[in-house]
Amino acid sequence: MMQEGLDDGPDFLSEEDRGPRAVNVDLQTDATLQVDISDALSERDKVKFTVHTKSTLPNFKQNEFSVVRQHEEFIWLHDSFVENEDYAGYIIPPAPPRPDFDASREKLQKLGEGEGSMTKEEFTKMKQELEAEYLAIFKKTVAMHEVFLCRVAAHPVLRKDLNFHVFLEYNQDLSVRGKNKKEKLEDFFKNVVKSADGVLVAGVKDVDDFFEHEKTFLLEYHNRVKDASAKSDKMIRSHKSAADDINRIASSLYTLGTQDSTDLCKFFLKVSELFEKTRKIEARVAADEDLKLADLLKYYLRESQAAKDLLYRRSRALVDYENANKALDKARAKNRDVLQAETSQQLCCHKFEKISESAKQELIDFKTRRVAAFRKNLVELAELELKHAKGNLQLLQSCLGVLKGNT
Amino acid sequence: FDVDVAVTNPEKVGNSLPMFRSKTFSVRRRFSDFLGLYEKLSVKQSLHGCIVPPPPEKSVVGMTKVKVGMDDPSSVEFVERRRAALERYIQRVVSHPSLLQDPDVREFLERDDLPRAVNTQALSGAGFLKMINKASDAVNKMTIKMNESDTWFEDKFQEVENEEQQLRKLHALVDSLVNHRKELCGNTAVFAKSMAMLGNSEDNTALSRALSQLAEVEDKMEQLHQEQAASDFFIFAELLADYIRLLGAVRGCFDQRMRAWQRWQEAQSTLQKKREAEAKLLWANKPEKLQQAKEEITEVTKAWEARVTQYERDFDRIGMTVRKEVLRFEKEKAKDFKSQIIKYLEAMLQSQQRLIKFWEAFLPEAKAIA
């Protein structure tokens, strides 16, 4: 449909968006491994991301290289982390959401169908609006895929993962087409069991104060972030609708202004020009709120879920450990298969302690990252709101100066 | 129905007009009184080609809610909307030099007890339009098409029709804006609450405080959106609605002129018929009845000649009045639009200034997060 180089095309988003655009702030980006998405292409039903790596690690054949990846391959990588027992004690960076251009595409199609019923100017204007919307969605999906990779690259253990290296370096197709029906069904049941367990586990009080506090905190926080995320989306949508209305009002005033060359008509033309400009600013305000606030909340919705998943895994390990203890006691009482039970118990104990140790650190890091990310985005949000409001103010002042001077 | 409309009388005329008893005064009027005034004026003045400002429309839905005594914001808004519209209506009436002289207007402004107006059903919103369109239909059904010696009237009429179209379109768009702003208002309030909740959950103290502050900023934004929506509506949308109605009244004027022309033409053709009848009689050979008949016919013909002359004069006079009225109207319209839109933009400007203050207060809170 549209070929989009990342930095080509209309600069719809603010300049602050160039360069590393992590919603999440990473603590350990260093020269040994740097990953970014340097380019992306949007085709009919898929997006192709160019993943660019710079590394001084000996694991890679070159110091700098790029491969092309699609969304399914990111999911494959994420799922491989989740399924890896060794990583049970880490917060697995949440998978990026699937690129969704359906709504945007539909609107563009409708526009094409309705071309005959509107003037050339109206059509061009609406087309520009929709293309800008498409571009914004596109940039967002790129950012979210990039954030995922950066999180992995910043994680001391995950960055060493072999699948990750293959993902970065192997320049052929990874052939990980979407899961087939059977696999999807298995996933479904896995999730059902997990949620039932989740309820069970949430009820068990933890001996360890730290984890008990975290559990309570995360359950509440996750729900509230979910709510805030949904509400921020609604608010921003209304904002966009209002900006669209102002756009149409500007066009209508322009038509009125071109009827004649009276004073009043000149007045209308000036006001129309003003509205054109202010509505561009309003659209940017909505877009910036989307990026700095809505996306932030969405991201922490996913991360807090990943943190909850970690707690769940730890709880399961605890349950397994407790069961192994019980089995050992039973075996000792019956004096049968004691060695087996002892080994099993030791394994469970070891697993549980390993998870607990790394989980503690992960949750502390999560908090630090979260605070830093909110700080960065809230500061940027406030600065952008101010920048746009001042821009608007200046436009209004200068326009009013002209309008009042002429009457 | 009784509604206390506190439309303050903008009598700046003061003591220059001896016809008013005192400098400033106020009376209580019902909504139906305003409609009654319009009816009286339109019957009298439109015959002269005067543009009579139309009153705001009746609204069954709005009034029922108010009658029921509901104190909700939409009823309050409805009453305010009506009050403002009636105020603008009266101001337009008194700023028109001929209408100000009209005894009905003076009575409306001064008399303490006004007899109740009847027959105002015709003046619901739909009713007013129907009236205008009926006149237009009558004009369209004219079999003799007018030969304009001067295209000013044709051109101007076309202009007026076009403008009315454009304003209707614009009004619909502004309406949509008002609705989206109200929606934004509601959604912002809901969002603010959810941010406050999130702030409560957050266990980092500084971040928690910042999130609560953000919730407060969003609350203030809701207030701003509310005011902006009111401004969109009361200043912009209502201005457009007024002028859509006024342009209808202007069209009405043009139609009145056409009717005057029609009357003149019809009188002329009747005169023609009478003259033919007179001629026929002269050629008939009935000498006994001739003298009497001849006198009768001559009387009738003379009467019609007089009528034709009168109607022609009326038509010319209406033409002149319409021209004058339209020019005056256009001047007023330009002034009105400019002043209202400037007011609207100034409200927007103030809104932005307050917005800046809110975010400037928030920024240090965000930076303080550690």
Higher pLDDT, B323 or A192: B323
Distances B356 to A12, A58, A127, A187, A393 between C-alpha atoms, Å: 23, 52, 32, 50, 9
Of B106, B141, B176, which one is at a domain's C-terminal end? B141
Same domain, B108 and B172: no
Sequence-separated (6 or more) residues with CB below 8 Å from residue A11: none
The number of CA neighbours under 13 Å toward the Cβ of B277 is: 15
Confidence of residue B25 (pLDDT cuts 50, 70, 90): low
Residue A397 belongs to some domain of the structure? yes
Does the beta-carbon distance from A221 to B197 stay under 8 Å? Answer: no
* Domain CATH for B285: 1.20.1270.60
Residue A159 belongs to some domain of the structure? no
Residue B153 belongs to some domain of the structure? no
* Domain CATH for B36: 3.30.1520.10
Q: Which of residues 33-92 of A touch B (CB under 8 A)?
A: none
Distances A273 to A254, A268, A401 between C-alpha atoms, Å: 8, 9, 14
Contact status, residue A6 vs residue A139, Cβ threshold 8 Å:
yes
Segment B333-359 mean pLDDT: 94
Residue A222 belongs to some domain of the structure? yes
Domain count, chain A: 1
A155, two tokens: 């994680």
Q: Which of B178, B181, B212, B345 to mutate to test the interface with A (most CBs of A within 10 A)?
A: B345
Residue A221 belongs to some domain of the structure? yes
Query: Across-strand partners of A40?
Result: A49
Same domain, B103 and B193: no
Q: Identify the weakest region by mean pLDDT among B65-79, B165-179, B271-285.
A: B65-79
Q: What is the pLDDT of residue B71?
A: 60
Q: How many angstroms separate the CA atoms of A124 and B332, rounded?
A: 36
Domain count, chain B: 2
Q: Is the pLDDT of residue B141 over 70?
A: no
Residue A304 belongs to some domain of the structure? yes
Sequence-ordered alpha helix ranges (H) in chain B = 31-45, 60-68, 73-94, 97-101, 103-110, 125-140, 152-201, 205-231, 238-283, 287-367
Sequence-separated (6 or more) residues with CB below 8 Å from residue B55: B34, B35, B37, B38, B85, B86, B89, B123
B332, two tokens: 């007023």
Q: How many angstroms separate the CA atoms of A49 and A47, rounded?
A: 6
Q: Which of residues 278-317 of A touch B (CB under 8 A)?
A: 278
Q: How many angstroms separate the CA atoms of B143 and A129, rounded?
A: 51
Pair type for strands A64-69 and A33-42:
unpaired
Higher pLDDT, B145 or B363: B363
Residue A3 belongs to some domain of the structure? no
Q: What is the pLDDT of residue B6?
A: 44
Domain membership of residue B114 as a residue range? 1-141
Same domain, B98 and B210: no
Residue B93 belongs to some domain of the structure? yes
Q: Is the dihedral of CA A250, A255, A258, A259 positive or negative?
A: negative
Q: How many angstroms separate the CA atoms of B140 and B259, rounded?
A: 10
Same domain, B200 and B55: no
Instruction: Single out the residue of A188, A176, A155 nearest to residue A87, CA to CA.
Output: A155
Q: Percent helix, strand and coil across chain A, each rounded to 5?
A: 70, 5, 20
Q: Residues of B with CB below 8 A from A381's CB? A: 366
Contact status, residue B60 vs residue B1, Cβ threshold 8 Å:
no
Q: How many CB atoms lie within 10 A of CB A127?
A: 14
Does the beta-carbon distance from A396 to B203 stay under 8 Å? Answer: no
Residue A271 belongs to some domain of the structure? yes
Q: Is the pLDDT of residue B320 over 80?
A: yes
Same domain, B121 and B268: no
| B328 Cα to chain A: minimum distance (Å) | 14
Instruction: Single out the residue of A365, A367, A362 nearest to residue A88, CA to CA.
Output: A362
Q: What is the pLDDT of residue B84?
A: 82
Same domain, B168 and B63: no
Which tens digit of pLDDT belongs to each residue from A185-204?
666 666 665 665 565 555 56
Domain membership of residue A397 as a residue range? 198-406
Same domain, B233 and B344: yes
Q: What is the pLDDT of residue A10?
A: 33
Sequence-separated (6 or more) residues with CB below 8 Å from residue B335: none
Residue B8 belongs to some domain of the structure? yes
Residue B83 belongs to some domain of the structure? yes
For the entire predicted model, the pTM comes to 0.82
A205: left (phi > 0), else alpha (psi -120 to 50), else beta?
A: beta
Contact status, residue A217 vs residue A210, Cβ threshold 8 Å:
no
Q: Identify the weakest region by mean pLDDT among A367-371, B285-289, B309-313.
A: B285-289
Sheet with A64-69: list strands edge to edge.
A33-42, A47-55, A64-69
Measured between CB atoms, which of B174, B337, B366 is closest to A378? B366
Which tens digit of pLDDT belongs to each residue from B44-70?
876 677 888 888 877 666 666 555 655
Q: Residues of B with CB below 8 A from A383's CB? A: 363
Same domain, B190 and B100: no
Same domain, B114 and B175: no
Residue B227 belongs to some domain of the structure? yes
* Domain CATH for A365: 1.20.1270.60
ipTM above 0.85, yes or no: no
Q: How many CB pairs (< 8 A) connect A and B?
A: 154
DSSP, collapsed to helix, strand or coil, labels residue A35 as strand
Does the beta-carbon distance from A378 to B210 stay under 8 Å? Answer: yes
Q: Which of B165, B177, B214, B329 to mutate to test the interface with A (most CBs of A within 10 A)?
A: B177
Q: What is the pLDDT of residue B108?
A: 81
Which phi and psi angles does A27 have, rounded to 5°?
-90, -20
Same domain, B74 and B197: no
Q: What is the pLDDT of residue A3?
A: 34
Q: Residues of B with CB below 8 A from A260's CB? A: 159
Which tens digit of pLDDT belongs to each residue from B106-131?
888 777 777 766 655 545 555 556 66
Residue A336 belongs to some domain of the structure? yes
Contact status, residue B261 vs residue B326, Cβ threshold 8 Å:
no
Burial string for B291-323 (b: 16+ CB within 10 Å, else e) reads eebeeebeebbeebeebbeebbebbeebbebbb
Measured between CB atoms, which of A245, A378, A390 is closest to B176? A245
Q: Which of residues 198-227 of A touch B (CB under 8 A)?
A: 217, 220-221, 224-225, 227
DSSP, collapsed to helix, strand or coil, labels residue A88 as coil
DSSP, collapsed to helix, strand or coil, labels residue A33 as strand
Residue B339 belongs to some domain of the structure? yes
Q: What is the pLDDT of residue A30?
A: 66
Stretches where chain A sits below pLDDT 70 are: 1-31, 176-206, 406-407
Type and span of the H or E element at B369: none
Residue B293 belongs to some domain of the structure? yes
Mean pLDDT (chain B, rounded): 81
Q: What is the pLDDT of residue B12?
A: 36
Q: What is the pLDDT of residue A228?
A: 96
Q: Which of residues 333-362 of A touch B (CB under 8 A)?
A: none
Same domain, B316 and B176: yes
Does the beta-carbon distance from B188 to A235 stay under 8 Å? Answer: yes
Does the beta-carbon distance from A403 to B345 stay under 8 Å? Answer: yes
Contact status, residue A66 vs residue A167, Cβ threshold 8 Å:
no
Q: How many angstroms separate the CA atoms of A356 and A349, rounded?
A: 10
Which tens digit of pLDDT belongs to each residue from A298-357?
999 999 999 999 999 998 898 899 999 999 998 989 888 888 889 999 999 999 999 999
Same domain, B113 and B218: no
Q: Which of residues 94-123 of A touch B (CB under 8 A)?
A: none
Contact status, residue A201 vs residue A287, Cβ threshold 8 Å:
no
Residue B150 belongs to some domain of the structure? no
- Tokens 């007009």 correspond to what residue? B17
Q: How many angstroms separate the CA atoms of B298 and B286, rounded?
A: 17
